[in-house]
Copies of this chain bind each other. A is one copy, B any other.
């Protein structure tokens, strides 16, 4: 990749990240181009769609999440591993709305290779974490790893409705975790 191309790509990403941080998730490509001081064509070349730009923004977060989940998968206590996984996936979404939007939709056919790779890596890790909990009879039967991901995305959505506070995050996480647990009562 040519040096100027790489530089511009970064510039665009930085500008988009700034816009997102300011609460503007519309990510209008013409607008981003103007703000980044590059031509519209340049933005469209690197990121043909709003979605592509979102994936670019989410990449870092995705990588950081993977590291956390790897750690969670190495915990002694299987259930705490699940709890860590869920919390990490939840908090990352609350911290990075672009990531939330990317992870909350089915795998995209023409997603960036990096996104697909991250997704696959995450799925594999999640599967193993859950399988361990399942083997130990801690997880409510019938739940797939997809269910888990969807439910966490739903919880993130629920939290985004009101105002985010650490207490609310904890509360909703407890509800979710408790609901996922195998019910050992009658």
The DSSP consensus for interface residues of chain A is helix
Q: How many residues of A contact B (CB 8 A)?
A: 33
Q: Given A147-B172, A171-B143, A178-B178, answer yes or no on A158-B162 (Cβ-Cβ < 8 Å).
A: no
Collect the chain B residues with CB atoms within 8 Å of residue A178's CB: 140, 178-179, 181, 183
Per the bound structure, the CA–CA distance linking A166 and B85 in Å amounts to 27
Collect the chain B residues with CB atoms within 8 Å of residue A151's CB: 155, 158, 172, 175
A105 within 8 A of B: yes
Per the bound structure, the CA–CA distance linking A118 and B174 in Å amounts to 31
A138 within 8 A of B: no
A161 and B172 contacting across the interface, CB-CB below 8 Å: no
Partner of A146, one of B105, B155, B162, B184: B162
A44 within 8 A of B: no
Collect the chain B residues with CB atoms within 8 Å of residue A142's CB: 171
16 contacts between A and B (CB under 8 A): A104-B157, A150-B162, A150-B172, A151-B172, A151-B175, A154-B154, A154-B155, A154-B156, A155-B158, A157-B157, A157-B158, A174-B179, A175-B180, A176-B179, A177-B179, A179-B179
Q: Residues of A with Cβ closer than 8 Å to B?
A: 104-106, 140, 142-143, 146-147, 150-151, 153-159, 161-162, 168, 171-172, 174-181, 183-185
